[in-house]
Amino acid sequence: MKVLLSLIITCMLCSSVQAQNYAIVGATVHTMGPKGTLENATVLIQNDKIQAVLTGHTDLQGYNVINAQGKVITPGLIGAHTSLGLVEVSSSAGTVDSDVLPVNFSTVGAAVDVSFGINPDSSLMNISRIAGVTSAASSVTRSEQLFSGQGAMITLGDKTQAIIKPRAYMGVNMSNGGADNIGGSRALLWVALEQAISETEFVGSKGLSPAQQWHGELARADLRALWPVVNGDIPLIIDARRAADIRQVIAFKKRHPKLHIVLLEATEGWRVADELAANNIAVILDPESNLPYAFDQLGATLANAARLDKAGVMVVIGMGSHNIRLAKQHAGNAVANGLAWQRGLAALTINPATIYQIDALVGSLEAGKQADLVIWSGDPLEVTETAEQVFIEGQLLDMQSRQTKLRDRYLDLQQDRPMRYVRP
Amino acid sequence: MHYKNTKIMLTGILLAAGMLTACDDNQSKGEAAVINGDPFPSTYQPVSSNATLIENVTILDGIGGRIEKGALLMQGGKIVSLGQNLIPTGDTTVVDGQGKWVTPGIIDVHSHLGVYPAPSTSSHSDGNEMTAPVTAQVWAEHSIWPQDPGFGRALAGGVTAMQILPGSANLVGGRGVTVKNMPNRVVQDMKFPGAPYGLKMACGENPKRVYGDKGGPGTRMGNVAGYRQAWADAQDYQRKWDLYYKDFAAGKEPQQPKRDLKLDTLAKVLKGEILVHMHCYRADDMGTMIDVMQEFDYKISVFHHAVESYKIADKLAAANVCSAMWADWWGFKMEAYDGIQENIPMVHAAKACAIVHSDSDLGIQRLNQEAAKAWANGRRAGLDISQADAWQWLSANPAKSLGIFEQTGSLESGKNADVVLWSADPFSTYAQAEHVYIDGALVYDRNNPASWPVSDFELGQPGEGDIK
């Protein structure tokens, strides 16, 4: 640990402008790729990429060597359902870009595009990244329209441009919450969704010019935004909770086989697990959700993640914004309730990368992929273990945040001047 | 700590029970009016239990002690002894705790189970009497729905007792009640016998947001004026009753003051019979409330959601006010923006009283993990606290702050046998409460699905009796 820390300090002084080559040696490395887990392995980082993950003797000439013996290395975690970059303080604190109001040029909300609103300087970014979250799906969380709009894949790296992939997915809520917004009933909600799909299919890839006559329900901007969804280019993330709604989603997919559908929440997913697996529908869930908050979540159980995984459904874990850093605890609790440990880690890394189609870039430690990785003090799913050093795109991050600075300012309360002069 | 109240309360109850006919509405000449201090008495009955010996186990006694390869004997609902080689008598159930841990039951000082139950329909939303900024006259126990499935989930997380509080919309939200996590047909069945009442109060953003356009308060200074006026009114009310009793004792025939349920409760706080539990995030808000507390000579037992306690931990230690905290919640509103992950251990290290609380029907299920995170983050910041000491955040300090530490909150002989057997070191994500004992009775056994509680609401529904 001492070696690690001193190296980090040395490297921080030696600048971050020039790309560095790093060799991280001695750790247990969970690649989440074909190489599986390697003991006493070496991870080579060249510029912004993983150059190799290997065992045995390696020539380390030209690398900054980091001793990580006794540590655990994983790919950076991917926030699967967040509003990172869109929210600073949620309530009564000014503009929150993850809350949208209805506007008349977007009749169903599909046109919403959060890529314009991502703020890399948000304090949530470095608070989350020093806890091991290196990229995320970010989208609107509060909308009264049918669709919550187009979400973006973002990096949490210390960058001026956070977007990895704009307009990367579309969200729609087909649970009680969606029905409450759209006509008060699923009897209207599903009609609205089918109408949106059929109008988009009718108009097609070229969209409509402002001069063209159009008597459909969807606005032009919505039709444009929905085309990649109906064409299967980007996933449609559908919030559905009770078994009956999940079966509706499966039937919907059968009616529209081109759609790339991912379920969100799927509280009673375990009751429909085999059908979900057979239809290749992945699930983003909160493994700790075990209470019947509404009549569409009566079967909530801590065993949901394990049962879905056992049936062959791809499980993704990681919801939240301010505390997306707790995704690892959520996964740990899924493991405590029956999910295999490796599947718990996959649910935080390669699985979200796969459903959001950024797995060529991140999600596993493989040669050529972006060097997003975390050196953990131990088992990352343990609540007592922590990210000791995080790399994003090969950059060794400054492991400070405004929270660590507040801590350091107040660790010693005996000061001879007002606290605002104390600069830890 | 600060508990004159328990005994006074008990005396009050006995007095009232003996004089029920002499209540204020039909007093006869010659007797002073007596106000029944306990009109909704506890009807809690412990589940019957066999003597149980858990042996070969790591024990955290909850007051800083740790025993390796220890044993714990419970009998008649009480802890008989703990040590290393206890010999079971004839019909004692013996549990081999090899590789497992035993701790006191977890006590959550901040729950809304039953008042904001699941399902969270508007018909069930009974936690905030948002009709006036001071509603000291309302009692959380009158809103509790004992069928809330959340109680059973909390039990599976090792929670044996909790305080259920009104919400934080009001300056004074009403009385909280301490309950055993053993709901039954009516709420009185779970009330913790002998526990003093709590009074929920709230600082900061919530009251001013709720009342800003409903006649005020609309600012923090308006909030503080509201508390102070409420205490001044309570003092005035108490003086009327004191005068009445004084005149009565002097042989006069004084007119009995009109009872005011709101001021009754506030006056009991001033007399030290009810403990104040105040939602207060910001350091400066807490600092102001410490002065208000001293101005009106009452006791704030705990600041809840005290995310900035680390900034004034020394002042909190000096004022002898506990802080009930989350491990890492932050940023959902401005007054939570400066939350840090080392708050709990920093408060502990300053020798102030630290409590881990939930305010959540999910968080209450894994408070041991919340303590574990705080403990580990503290150690990394150089605050070397033992696990045995850290467990005070979960049982002993909550019990002290609720005025029930004589009965529970630690593993000491003679105390209620409120005990959890953990499958592993409870400072781990993977540890689960395997056995939960309340008053010596095994009320949750993870390995025996037939022992799992199922609320009326869950009967006949999808997932009835499932892993929860």
pLDDT tens figures, A132-158:
999 999 999 999 999 999 999 999 997
Listed range (A112-116, A300-304, B32-36) with the worst mean pLDDT: B32-36
Q: How near does any CA of chain B get to the CA of A294, in Å?
A: 5
Residue A111 — pLDDT band, cuts 50, 70, 90? very high
Q: Quote the CA–CA distance of B368 and B383 in Å, as a whole number.
A: 19
Q: For residue A91, which residues of chain B lie inside 8 Å, CB to CB?
A: 205, 332-333
**DSSP conformation class of A220:** H
Q: Which H or E run contains A27?
A: strand A21-30
Q: Is A61 on the interface with B (CB under 8 A)?
A: no
Q: Check pLDDT > 70 for residue A418.
A: yes
Q: Is the CB of A382 less than 8 angstroms away from the CB of B342? A: no
Residue A19 — pLDDT band, cuts 50, 70, 90? low
The strand ranges marked E within A76-201 are: 77-82, 133-138, 147-155, 163-173
Task: Provide the pLDDT for residue A158.
Answer: 77
Q: Is the CB of B366 less than 8 angstroms away from the CB of A88? A: no
Which spans in B144-301 are helix H?
150-156, 205-211, 220-249, 261-270, 283-295
CB atoms under 10 Å from CB of B8, counted, come to 16
Search chain B and give the residue with CA nearest A286: B362
Interface test with B, best of A339, A383, A422 (most B CBs within 10 A): A383
CA–CA distances in Å: residue A78 to residues A81, A320, B119, B449: 9, 12, 31, 36
- Region A160-164: mean pLDDT is 94
Q: Which H or E run contains B175?
A: strand B172-180
Q: For residue A407, which residues of chain B lie inside 8 Å, CB to CB?
A: 310, 340-342, 346, 381
Q: Quote the CA–CA distance of A285 and B81 in Å, as a whole number.
A: 45
Q: How near does any CA of chain A get to the CA of B214, in Å?
A: 17
Q: Check pLDDT > 70 for residue A104.
A: yes
CB atoms under 10 Å from CB of B11, counted, come to 11
Q: Which H or E run contains B174?
A: strand B172-180
Which ipTM was obtained for this model?
0.95
Q: Quote the CA–CA distance of A53 and A51 in Å, as a whole number.
A: 7
The pLDDT > 70 percentage for chain B reads: 94
Q: Which H or E run contains A277?
A: helix A273-278
Search chain B and give the residue with CA nearest A294: B119
Q: Is the CB of A323 less than 8 angstroms away from the CB of B375? A: no
- Region A365-377: mean pLDDT is 98
Would you give the end-to-end CA distance of chain B in angstroms? 37
Q: Which H or E run contains A123?
A: helix A123-129
Encode pLDDT of B400-452 as tens digits.
999 999 999 999 999 999 999 999 999 999 999 999 999 999 999 999 999 99
Residue B25 — pLDDT band, cuts 50, 70, 90? very low
- Region A332-355: mean pLDDT is 98
Location of structure tokens 């009753």: B241
Which spans in B300-419 are helix H?
313-319, 343-349, 367-380, 387-390, 396-402
Residue A185 — pLDDT band, cuts 50, 70, 90? very high
Encode pLDDT of A48-92 as tens digits.
999 999 999 899 999 999 999 999 999 999 999 999 999 999 999
**CA angle, corner B303, sides to B297 and B304, nearest 5?**
150
Q: How near does any CA of chain B get to the CA of A222, in Å?
A: 31
Q: Quote the CA–CA distance of B67 and B52 in Å, as a whole number.
A: 18
Amino acid letter, residue A180: D
Computed over every residue of chain B, the mean pLDDT equals: 94
Amino acid letter, residue A177: G
Per DSSP, chain A holds a count of helices (H) and strands (E) of 12, 16
Q: For residue B334, which residues of chain A lie inside 8 Å, CB to CB?
A: 89, 92-93
Cα dihedral A171, A174, A176, A182 in deg (nearest 10):
90
Q: Is A332 on the interface with B (CB under 8 A)?
A: yes
Q: Is the CB of B334 less than 8 angstroms away from the CB of A290? A: no
- Quick one: residue B99, left, alpha or beta (phi over 0 = left, psi -120 to 50 = alpha)? left
- Region B257-269: mean pLDDT is 98
- Tell me which residue in A92, A299, A407 faces B463 most closely, judged by beta carbons: A299
Q: Check pLDDT > 80 for residue B13.
A: no
Search chain B and give the residue with CA nearest A337: B430
> Which residues are within 8 A (CB) of B246 and not within 5 positions of it... i.e. 6 or more apart?
none
Q: Check pLDDT > 80 for residue A193.
A: yes
Task: Provide the pLDDT for residue B29.
Answer: 60
Q: Is the CB of A298 less than 8 angstroms away from the CB of B382? A: no
Q: Is A54 on the interface with B (CB under 8 A)?
A: no
Encode pLDDT of B56-114 as tens digits.
999 999 999 999 999 999 999 999 999 988 888 889 999 999 999 999 999 999 999 99
Q: Is the CB of B310 less than 8 angstroms away from the CB of A410? A: yes
Q: Is the CB of A407 less than 8 angstroms away from the CB of B310? A: yes
Which spans in A139-185 are helix H?
176-181
The pLDDT > 90 percentage for chain A reads: 93
Encode pLDDT of B102-160 as tens digits.
999 999 999 999 999 999 999 999 999 999 999 999 999 999 999 999 999 999 999 99
Q: For residue B466, which residues of chain A lie inside 8 Å, CB to CB?
A: 299, 301, 303
- Tell me which residue in B338, B380, B457 faces A406 most closely, judged by beta carbons: B338
- Region A198-205: mean pLDDT is 98
Q: How near does any CA of chain B get to the CA of A421, in Å?
A: 14
- Tell me which residue in A91, A301, A382 faces B429 most closely, judged by beta carbons: A382
Interface test with A, best of B340, B364, B367, B455 (most A CBs within 10 A): B340
Task: Provide the pLDDT for residue B90.
Answer: 83
Q: Is the CB of B468 less than 8 angstroms away from the CB of A302? A: yes
One DSSP character per residue, B83-145 reads ES-PPP-TT-EEEE-TT-EEEEPEEEEEE-TTTS-SS--GGG--S--TTSSB-TT-BGGGT--
Computed over every residue of chain A, the mean pLDDT equals: 95
Q: Check pLDDT > 90 for residue B23.
A: no
Q: Which of residues 190-249 of A touch B (CB under 8 A)?
A: 243
Task: Provide the pLDDT for residue B30.
Answer: 77
Search chain B and give the residue with CA nearest A405: B340
Q: Check pLDDT > 70 for residue B6.
A: no
Search chain A and give the residue with CA nearest B330: A322
